[in-house]
Amino acid sequence: MTNIVAKFRDEAKLVSALTMLKNNKVNLVDVYGPYATHDILKKVTRESRMPYASVLYGIFAIVFIFGFMYYTSVIDYPLSYGGKPIFSFPPMVIVIFLFTILLTTILTVLTFHARANIFPGKPLKNPDPAITDDTFALVIGQNYNPEEIKEWLKESGADEITEKEIQ
C-alpha cells in the first residue's frame, strides 16, 4: 500500500496540519521528525504505559532481592558476624534499594527494546534521511479521500507531498 507522505520543515505548520487532520478524522500512520515535542506527541500517540511496567518490575525486584538475601544469609549459609543476628533487616535495606534500581533499570530498558522494536543493527526504514536533520514527515494511512487530504496538506503549508510505500 502506498502512503501519502507530507514533509514539513516548520514545526508550527506540522502541528496545525496535524490538528486539521485529527479534526477530520484522517487515518494517520506516524509522524517522523528530528525531535519530539509535547504538542506533536499528544496528537500522534497516547501516553506510554511503561511507567506502570516499571513499578511492577520494582515490586518484583524488591521481593526477589529480599528473598535472595534471606535465602543466602539465613537458610543456605547462616554465618554469625561478631554475634550479630543472622537475620538483620537494616543492612539489607541498602542492598534492596540498589538492586531494585539495577533490576528495574535493566527490565525497563529491555521492555523499551521490545516495544519500540529497536535493537543494534536494525535496518533503517525512515521515509527520508533529512528526518534526523530538519524535516518532519507526516505519513498518512488508507483513507477514502486521498485527494482531499493532499489539498488540506497543501493548505497547511507542507513543503513537499509525495506518495511512497512505508512499511
Partner 1 sequence: MIASSIRWPMVKGEKSNKEITRELIAPNEQKPAMWWYIGMTIGTLALAFGGWAAYMSVTVGLGTWGLTNSVAWGWDIINFVWWIGIGHAGTAFTIFFLVFRQRWAASINRTAEAMTVFAVMCAALFPLLHMGRPWLAFFIMPYPNTRLLWVNFNSPLFWDVIAISTYLLMSITLWYFGMIPDLATMRDRAKNKVSRALYGFFSMGWDGSMISYNRYETLTRILGGLAAPLVVSVHTIVAIDFAVSILPGWHATILPPYFFVGAIFSGFAMVLTIMILIRKAFKVKDFITAKHLDAIANVLKYGSLVIGLAYAIEVFIAWYSGVSYEMYTFLNARMTGSFSTAFWIMVFFNAIVPQIFWFRKARQNVWSLFIVSILINIGMWYERFIILVSSLAEDFLPSSWTEYTPTMVDIGIYVGTFGIFICGMLLFIRYIPIIAVNEVKAYKKEGN
Q: Which residues bind partner 1 (CB under 8 A)?
A: 9, 30-37, 40-41, 44-45, 47-48, 50-51, 54, 68-69, 72-73, 76-77, 79, 81, 84, 88, 91-92, 94-95, 97-99, 101-102, 104-105, 108-109, 112, 115-116, 118-126, 129-134
Distance of alpha carbon 25 from alpha carbon 44, whole angstroms: 12
Cα–Cα distances in Å, from 39 out to 46, 51, 154? 12, 20, 21
Q: Would you say 49 or 154 has its CB closer to partner 1?
A: 49
CB of 101 to partner 1, least distance (A): 5
CB of 113 to partner 1, least distance (A): 8
Q: Would you say 22 or 115 has its CB closer to partner 1?
A: 115
> Where are the extended beta strands (E) located within 15-82?
28-32
Cα–Cα distances in Å, from 5 out to 133, 146, 159? 17, 11, 11
CB of 156 to partner 1, least distance (A): 17
